[in-house]
Chains A and B, each alone.
Chain A
Amino acid sequence: MGMTMTQKILAAHAGLPSVEAGQLIEANLDLVLANDITGPVAIHEVEKLKKKTVFDKDKVALVPDHFAPNKDIKSAEHCKCVREYAKEHDITNYFEVGQMGIEHALLPEKGLIVAGETCIGADSHTCTYGALGAFSTGVGSTDMGCGMITGQAWFKVPSAIKFVLTGKPSKWVSGKDVILHIIGMIGVDGALYKSMEFTGDGVANLSMDDRFSIANMAIEAGAKNGIFPVDEKTIAYMEEHSTKKYTAYEADEDAVYDEVYTIDLGKLEPTVAFPHLPENTKTVRESGQVDIDQVVIGSCTNGRIEDLRTAAEILKGRKVAEGIRAIVIPATQAIYMQAIEEGLVQTFIQAGTIVSTPTCGPCLGGYMGILAAGERAVSTTNRNFVGRMGHVESEVYLASPAVAAASAVTGKISEPSELGL
């Protein structure tokens, strides 16, 4: 029986000629990640292990990004715990404030993960690296801690759903619209325990930043991982960012899929997920008048350079509507610097937004833009659960950077065409 991309990577890392869906395996890990929220719990847990040393100091990444720069005393203690552990164990890839960025934008940018590798991270959006053709999945702190010490993790080999992407998205449709559309179609548990494999001619029309956004939100459909094939764009990205050797795995022609969906990217429209689940999607045209209080452009889903370029293109020469708070958060220091060099930051500030240092901050209701009761935000983040960005009676509408920027200008959910773009 043929294998999917994910199954091939898992088989290779478990030292097996083949694996099939449902099989329980122990696989070797190429990268193990934690942040300032999940790291301290993992560090505390691994103290109970007999083995004390990490399996490979170059293959562990510790990134304080959620409540860093430290938002309060308790967060400062958490960051300190991670910092001290990194120092004690001589962890190569610890990123201090000044070098750090949002983990899932930072790690690919630093070249720490490439195609064909396996990665677990104590953060659900670790599935982002599937954009590079890696097997990458989110786990809890105990799994992460044990992976950090042993270099292995157990997996139930997932079955897969295939998404055949065709056509070319129109000007203001991005990877975010693609994944919101898919989640709206299959639901927040539509891919529960499974892989989402994205293939088809349309993939070539998606930039790497689009693919990162799509793979990033595979978890919002319940998936174990999302994965793209390796093509010229992937290779160019890896060659620019990494010196690691990569392996491109292709699914076998007779690989078995639970379901196959074909999506014409050319037919997709700017899409919004209404509160309080990412599956509650509508096109902007169907959304009606939804007045807002805040816009957030950033996060591990949409804080990359292309996202900022799109937002700046819309905000250039325009102003954020009166009474709207617009917050732009470049995901890493390199993206921030690039945005300065390209004049994007100037455009943002002239338009009336603020530009923050990299942090997960408002996405998970940490800080830097918390909502009060009754307030609404259009956000390029990935979750709109009850209370996600603040008060339990606040609302988050998930959208692309283009929709978020247009909404900042009009003060209601809007798409760029409403501004004559």
Chain B
Amino acid sequence: MKASGIVHKYGDNVDTDVIIPARYLNSSDPEELAKSCMEDIDPDFVKRVKDGDIMVANKNFGCGSSREHAPIAIKASGISCVIAETFARIFYRNAINIGLPIIECPEAAKEIEAGDQVEIDFDSGMIYDRTKGTEYKGQAFPPFMQKIIQAEGLINYINEKNV
């Protein structure tokens, strides 16, 4: 599986309140949530984002609330992968559980800039910045998490276990 797109870049501690403000949590519809994604720190994001684009941020991405609406909104906005230096732990679980690809890679997170054309090979964990001509190796998921990812989320994983 591969992803390729233009980068939308953010800093440290992007919290779930700015990813999707609570005033929109009276809906749980992915398309509706996507309309307000990143609104409080990047009001033009939803106008700019194109299917397949990539989000890159620094440390502690997705901190704060446990709202699964945050990765859902990002995924529904068209983003194909989030790369960060580190992720907040609930966001990390949620992203895996709903099938939003995420990669921890401090070097890539620091060096890749907004507007760069980036390609990701999920099988090898390689990240290629085509604008800069640089490449990075993202951290691999432990085998247990890979099983959830291969099942395309926790629900399928549990169904396959026949619980």
Query: What residues on A are CB-neighbors of B93 within 8 Å?
Result: 139-140, 143
Query: What residues on B are CB-neighbors of A67 within 8 Å?
Result: 25-26
**A365 near B23 (CB under 8 angstroms)?**
yes
**B13 near A383 (CB under 8 angstroms)?**
no
Query: What residues on A are CB-neighbors of B66 within 8 Å?
Result: 38, 121-124, 126, 138-140
Query: What residues on A are CB-neighbors of B59 within 8 Å?
Result: 189
Is the CB of A388 closer than 8 A to any CB of chain B?
A: yes
Is the CB of B4 closer than 8 A to any CB of chain A?
A: no
Binds B, one of A39-47, A89-97, A111-119, A410-418: A39-47
**B25 near A37 (CB under 8 angstroms)?**
yes
Query: What residues on A are CB-neighbors of B8 within 8 Å?
Result: none
| Contact mask for chain A residues 143-177; partner B; CB cutoff 8 A; 1 contact, 0 none | 10010011000101000000000000000000000
Chain A: interface size category = 35 or more
Query: What residues on A are CB-neighbors of B140 within 8 Å?
Result: none
Task: Give Cα A44–Cα B94 distance, bound, in whole angstroms.
Answer: 15
Residue from B23, B28, B94 within 8 A of A140 (CB atoms): B94
Assuming the A-B contacts A38-B67, A142-B154, A154-B144, are A385 and B26 also in contact, with contact meaning beta carbons closer than 8 angstroms in the complex? no
> Which residues of A pack against B, CB within 8 Å?
24, 37-38, 40-41, 44-46, 48-51, 66-67, 71-72, 74-75, 78, 121-124, 126, 138-143, 146, 149-150, 154, 156, 188-189, 192-193, 219, 222, 224, 277, 364-366, 383, 385-388, 392
22 A-B pairs (CB sep. < 8 Å) = A24-B144, A24-B145, A37-B22, A37-B69, A38-B67, A44-B28, A49-B159, A66-B25, A74-B26, A140-B67, A142-B97, A142-B155, A146-B155, A192-B60, A192-B89, A222-B63, A222-B88, A364-B22, A385-B17, A386-B40, A386-B41, A392-B40
A46-B155, A364-B25, A386-B40 given; 20 more Cβ-contact pairs under 8 Å: A50-B162, A139-B66, A140-B94, A140-B97, A146-B155, A146-B158, A149-B163, A188-B13, A189-B60, A192-B89, A219-B90, A224-B89, A364-B22, A365-B21, A383-B15, A383-B65, A385-B15, A386-B18, A386-B41, A388-B22
